[in-house]
Structure 1
Amino acid sequence: MPLLHTDVDYEAFANHGRKFKDSNGIIVNTFSEAESHAVSALLARDDIPPIFNVGPLIDHKGKSLSGSDAVKRDEILKWLDDQPEKSVVFLCFGSGGGFDEAQLKEIAIGLERSGHRFLWSVRLKPSKGKLQASFFDNYGEILPQGFLERTKNIGMLCGWAPQVEILAHKAVGAFVSHCGWNSTLEALWYAVPIITWPLYGEQHMNAFQLVKDLGLAVELTLDFRRDCPTDFVKAEVITKAVKTMMEQGGELRNKAKETSEMAKKAVMEGGSSYVAFGNLIDQWLGCKP
């Protein structure tokens, strides 16, 4: 959690922030309706450069795939096609979001006990000195004995996952996420409510905003709190969060749908981000000071 402690990473981040004030403008991948409090506070200040909220900027198409990646993508989407609408919990934690074997087993137990369908991008925690989590195929050697057989009719495991296409699929009803900002915007765009599991960086602040401010998420863990003794999340906590979202999350789904509509209006002609992008172009062209 480098942004929440006074260490080298925090100081580097703070230095970047100080440099922002030397710029001619700050471009932000967000839309004003999603972060109205922060946007209003920044716009009220006269000691910082202009703020241009031009998002959400999302790569809807993704990279072109071939070979085994294309085959896997097709397998995943075919599996989703066979599931009922909004019935699947999608778990994915970004390129650096992996877990040790003990936590992977706990996730498996929690998912199985929830009784809900799931699509899980499984990754091991990055080895020391590396940033990206690693994929593996020998699920049976790490996950609880018999898990694969018992959940074969309701669950699918994968390594790499075409996240945007999955979030856009009608079968997906919830997203267990690390709350990285790109993933958050993708979920908001496609009206998928989030179950928060922040891991590092600014993800804890994003999770707090989703749960406490926007009311778009169920808290699985906000583990920056001082009363949280460990980063390890137990199976019963995972089960409770999944069941809460899938069985009692109607209000969150409605709020996610409303936010999705706001996001799409923001980038349409006349929307807040459309106007902001026009103002940015004007500044680039020298039409405005």
Structure 2
Amino acid sequence: MSFVSAAASPKTESFVFHASSAISNLFFHGKAELCRAKFGSCFSEEFVEWVRRQGRFPEVVKGRLFNSCRSIEGEFLSRLSKEPAFNGDRIFAVGPLNPIAADRREREDECLEWLDRQPAASVVYVSFGTTTSMSRRQEREIAAGLEESGQRFIWVRREADRCDVFEAREEGEEDMDLAEWEERMKKKGMVIRGWAPQLEILAHPSTAGFLSHCGWNSCMEAMSNGVPILAWPMHSDQPANTVLVTEILGTGLVVREWSESNEVVAAAVVKAAVVRLMAGDEGREIRKKAREVGEELRAAVGVGGSSRREFDSFVAYICRPSDI
């Protein structure tokens, strides 16, 4: 997005859409006290400079839309409205923007059919989004951790997730280990190589947890479906989203702290996190809280809900009679 100056276009009003969370925006604007970890390295210098360039003409911006909801980020949205960088802009929280009732009537997918055969609330969904990479060593630790946990799983393990496209040529034996593991786990889990119908997976009654990088879209999709998150932040806004999910909302657990982002997560850590969520009193309470947050988010976009009202207010504002 780029802006023109108010002088060059005096009748122009711009609205900014934020695809990231309010808490991550607060952190970006220097409110690091919101989070215990130090996140200075999660934004690249190029990204920071790009964001700064977008705000060169703040007088043109009249409002901001967030894919968020007052019920989960009300405090942070209110604080943002007082930030000097936001210049008193109107803030509209209109999320979640993802479909809240995934419809699979016309979709035939092997993984959904597999989920149909599993017990209710018994499967962990594992996916790290489309902008992350992972070494073969780390993949092997995840594989071992999932196996040792004894829990059912769906793992989106794309070739694009690898750090080095030439790695397989040098580590053919290790690739064979993963192939043998995959064959061994066929009765307990499923590996998806390409695109996965994430919304339908998260909405499925057999899905009980989501091992995720904590990208904001994935967070909103999980939370609106009442699915707790095992948080493994990789970069950008994800460490701040992890704090929101685990410390503030109580709808997830941390698998890897951001301060340990350069370390390989051992199989024992993966196993422990999965077992904590899927078994015992702690996991039961987290899953209950996740369901409650899901109900709040779905209510927010329903008739009379807070996000529906704010979207209607936004539409009314931009459709008002011109006074210039």
CA 1:288–1:198 in 2, change beyond 3 Å: closer, same or farther?
A: farther
CA contact (8 A) 2:120 2:205 kept: yes
Matched, 1:58 2:62: no
Q: Cα RMSD over matched residues?
A: 3.1
Task: Judge conservation of contact 1:28–1:55 (CA < 8 Å) in 2.
Answer: yes
The separation in 1 between residues aligned to 2:248 and 2:263, in whole angstroms, is 23
**Residue 264 to residue 3, structure 1, CA distance change in 2 (3 Å):** farther
Q: How does 1:68-79 map to 2 (within 5 A)?
A: 74-79=109-114
Q: 1:29 aligns with which of 62, 67, 72?
A: 67
**Matching residue of 1:132:** none
Kindly provide the CA deviation profile for residues 231-254 of structure 1, in whole angstroms up to 9, marking residues without a partner as x: 321111101110100013111111
Contact 1:207 1:222 in 2 (8 A): no
- Structure 1 counterpart of 2:197, one-letter code: P
Q: Which residue of 1 aligns with 2:139?
A: 104
Counterparts in 2 of 1:265 and 1:176: CA distance versus 1, 3 Å: same
**Which residue does 2:222 correspond to in 1?**
187
Tell whether the 8 Å contact from 1:109 to 1:144 is kept in structure 2 after alignment.
Answer: no
Structure-2 residue corresponding to 1:234 = 266
Aligned partner of 1:37: which letter?
Answer: E
Q: Which residue of 1 aligns with 2:48?
A: 10
- Please give the alpha-carbon distance, in whole angstroms, between the structure 1 residues aligned to 2:125 and 2:249: 21
Change (3 A) 1:13 1:44: closer
For structure 1, which segment, 15-24 or 85-94, has the greater mean C-alpha deviation from structure 2 after superposition?
15-24
Moved more, 93-102 or 259-268: 93-102
The alpha-carbon deviation at position 102 of structure 1 amounts to 1.1
- Please list every run of 5 or more consecutive structure 1 residues that lacks an aligned counterpart in the other structure: 130-137
Amino acid at match of 1:270: G
Residues 179 and 20 of structure 1, relative CA distance in 2, 3 Å threshold: farther
Residue aligning to 1:256: 290
Contact 1:104–1:143 at 8 Å: present in 2 too? Answer: no
% identity of equivalent residues: 34
Structure exhibiting the larger radius of gyration computed from Cα positions: 2
CA distance in 2, matches of 1:126, 1:146: 18
Alignment of 1:174-253 (within 5 A): 174-223=209-258, 225=259, 228=260, 230-248=262-280, 249-253=283-287
Equivalent in 77, 95, 98 of residue 39 of structure 1: 77
Distance change (3 Å), C-alpha of 1:57 and 1:251: same
Q: TM-score, normalised by structure 1?
A: 0.84
Distance 1:86 1:283 in 2: 43
> Structure 1 stretches (4+) deviating beyond 6 angstroms?
61-64
Unaligned runs of 5+ in 2: 1-38, 166-171
Shift of residue 120 of structure 1? 0.4
Residue in structure 2 matching 1:123, options 158, 162, 167 = 158
- Letter matched to residue 122 of structure 1: R
Q: Do the aligned partners of 2:100 and 2:224 also contact (CA within 8 Å) in 1?
A: no
Q: Is the 8 A contact 2:68 2:94 kept in 1?
A: yes
Q: In 2, distance between residues paired with 1:172 and 1:19?
A: 46
Cα distance in structure 2, aligned partners of 1:121 and 1:155: 11
**Match for 1:268 among 302, 319, 323?**
302
- Partner Cα distance (1:258, 1:60) in 2: 14
User: In structure 1, what is the Cα distance between the partners aligned to 2:322 and 2:82?
Assistant: 19
Shift of 1:5: 5.2
CA separation of 1:195 and 1:6: change in aligned 2, threshold 3 A: closer
CA distance in 2, matches of 1:272, 1:40: 14
Amino acid at match of 1:240: A
Give the SS at the match of 2:62: coil
* Distance change in 2, residues 1:175/1:5 (3 Å): closer
Output the TM-score relative to the length of structure 2: 0.75
Aligned length: 273
- Which range moved further: 38-47 or 167-176? 38-47
Pairwise CA distance, 1:37? 1.5
Aligned partner of 1:148 in structure 2 is 182
